[in-house]
Structure 1
Amino acid sequence: WEQNMLNFVPNIVVLDYLKATNKLTANIEAKAKKFMEAGYQRELSYKHQDGSFSAFGESDKSGSTWLTAFVARSFKQAANHITIDEKVIDKSLEWLSDHQAPNGSFPEVGVVSHKDMQGGSGSGVALTAYTLIAFLENINLVDKYKNTINKAIDYVYRNTESLDDTYALALAAYALQLADHSSKQLILSKLDAKATTDSDSKWWHKPIPEVEQKNPWYSRPNSVNVEMSAYGLLAFLEAGLDTDALPVMKWLIGQRNDKGGFQSTQDTFVGL
């Protein structure tokens, strides 16, 4: 499953990016669409009958919350380029809705074997905000899942007041902007206050654990920093704060490797 998504998602991102920068050629477009269509068909083999997705499809005991939300988001984006069966996305959102906890959160019911691919969105507020984003980005299905969405929004909002995890806060800020929630500016200000800035850049970073602070070999988790900074950027753009978004964009551009990507699939997907 993950290997397929590692190949499927970059094609969506590349097409979006090249279109936005007016660098798309007919040859690249045809190739990317061909890869995307093959990836889409392969992805469907990991679908459970109940509409969820997991790493090994029906041989897994159940679908995974995070993977199902990831597929719903990816398929929605792919639909701009290839034909995606709307019912597949709807069924995956229906499964997520059925597995929402009474308090509005989305617990992880399955297993993700490729943990790196999750970035920082593995549990609690982060996973609920991530899943909520999957519902909100599928704008044509928002009315159908209004109740589910409202419960998730309330959960995210209730839990951001005491939230210290910057990654979860970045996801929450973007989700609440998409939802046009009354607290959206408050949460965005809270996220902004956690940013690191220098002369012309702004970004967010995961603090180094105390036990590792004096360790010269400790590797800084830059891929998560790219991911949360990208969500911070999306939140600013959704809020119409283009001037505030520019320093974040500058920092993100500076983090790309010589091939134009970032450290991992998930941060490249979000970063681009």
Structure 2
Amino acid sequence: MHDFFITEWSEMVFIPLEVLNKMAAWLTSQQAENGSFPEISDHIYARYFQPITVDYNGTSHVWHVSTTAYVVIALSKAVRLTSDAKSRAVRGAISGAEYLSSKLRSITDSFQMALVAYALDKAGHVSKDEAFSLLQSMARRGRYVYWSPEEVPDLEIKIIDNKQFIPPHADYLTLGAAGIATSYALLLHLARGQFEISRPIAHWLVEYPTSGYLDKLLEAEALNAFSKRETNHQFYNMKITLSAPSASHWTKVIYINSTNFPNYHEIVVEASRLER
């Protein structure tokens, strides 16, 4: 039900309306009386999806914040629903948003706050401004801006033979959570017209790509939304000079512009050029 599939992929992936209605009906049938959407299995996608929230007193609570936020986002964006499914989705989103709002001031984790802030904004809840303010207070600021349970150091740039090399970044356990949280933060800033602060957020997502399929999906959606708002298109006119450490006297220059930007470019280094 995610709008990334409903809108961006609607011409390639068709989902019948009756299927969407059944999905909404099933989702809303899983909602608890307090408005939350508890996990229906003990199997959790990743540890940062655990239904545990630690408040500012250090007390752990079994609150279903992350799952509820995801469902509220889906229900709030499901604009193609009809009849009973649509009314159930509206009621489910409102009730779920109320549940999230009741936990808002107790959330200390930036991952959960990003999901909740985005969900409350999509649901149009009265506490969406407070959630956005709390999210901003949790941002980690340095060269770029991002949200993560732990600090992610800047990439190390090495100079070898007067050339810059960026080695692969360390595989931090919370990098997936940081990617998801920062993606939702970027989407929220764009939705609220905060474009200037969106730039360093987008740059962080580009520099620190994650490997999980859910992380990648959200990063692609967020960066796609950012690219539609970006007015600086100088990157469509680039001169790229390539060289290889194993062929010190070999260089290749290619030009990227608006006519060939999406094309596949293959660069071949002849074996005779390689140093032995």
Whether the 8 Å CA contact 1:76–1:89 is kept in 2: the answer is no
CA distance in 1 between counterparts of 2:213 and 2:193 reads: 27
How far apart are 1:143 and its partner, in Å?
4.4
Q: Which residue pairs with 2:207 in the alignment?
A: 254
1:69-148 mapped onto 2 (5 Å cutoff): 72-73=1-2, 75-77=5-7, 78-110=9-41, 112=43, 115-116=45-46, 120-123=48-51, 124-141=64-81, 142-148=86-92
Other structure's SS at 1:160 match: helix
Other structure's SS at 1:145 match: helix
How far apart are 1:84 and its partner, in Å?
1.2
Q: Which residue pairs with 1:164 in the alignment?
A: 108
The letter of the residue matching 1:223 is: G
1:8-87 mapped onto 2 (5 Å cutoff): 72-73=1-2, 75-77=5-7, 78-87=9-18
Distance of aligned partners of 1:254 and 1:75 in 2 relative to their CA distance in 1, 3 Å threshold: closer
Other structure's SS at 1:247 match: helix
Q: Which residue pairs with 2:216 in the alignment?
A: 268
Once the two structures are aligned, what percentage of the paired residues are identical?
26
1:189-204 mapped onto 2 (5 Å cutoff): 189-199=133-143, 201-204=144-147
Over residues 90-129 of structure 1, what are the superposed CA-to-partner deviations in whole Å (9 max), with x where a residue is unaligned? 111111111100000000113547x24xx73443111100
1:184-223 mapped onto 2 (5 Å cutoff): 184-199=128-143, 201-207=144-150, 219-223=172-176
The letter of the residue matching 1:202 is: V
TM-score for the superposition, normalised by structure 1:
0.62
The letter of the residue matching 1:132 is: V
How far apart are 1:80 and its partner, in Å?
4.5
Whether the 8 Å CA contact 1:206–1:221 is kept in 2: the answer is yes
Report 1 or 2 for greater relative contact order, CA contacts < 8 Å, sequence distance ≥ 6: 1
TM-score for the superposition, normalised by structure 2:
0.61
**Where does the alignment leave 5 or more consecutive residues of structure 2 unmatched?**
52-63, 152-169, 221-276
In angstroms, what is the RMSD of aligned CA positions? 2.3
**Equivalent of 1:179 in 120, 123, 126:** 123
CA distance in 2 between counterparts of 1:95 and 1:220 reads: 33
CA distance in 2 between counterparts of 1:122 and 1:81 reads: 34
Distance of aligned partners of 1:271 and 1:159 in 2 relative to their CA distance in 1, 3 Å threshold: same
Whether the 8 Å CA contact 2:17–2:80 is kept in 1: the answer is no
Q: Which structure is higher in strand share?
A: 2
CA distance in 1 between counterparts of 2:117 and 2:179 reads: 16
Other structure's SS at 1:81 match: coil
Question: What is the aligned residue count?
Answer: 184
CA distance in 1 between counterparts of 2:6 and 2:50 reads: 21
The letter of the residue matching 1:134 is: A
Q: Which structure is higher in helix share?
A: 1
**Where does the alignment leave 5 or more consecutive residues of structure 1 unmatched?**
1-71, 209-216, 257-261
CA distance in 2 between counterparts of 1:204 and 1:219 reads: 14
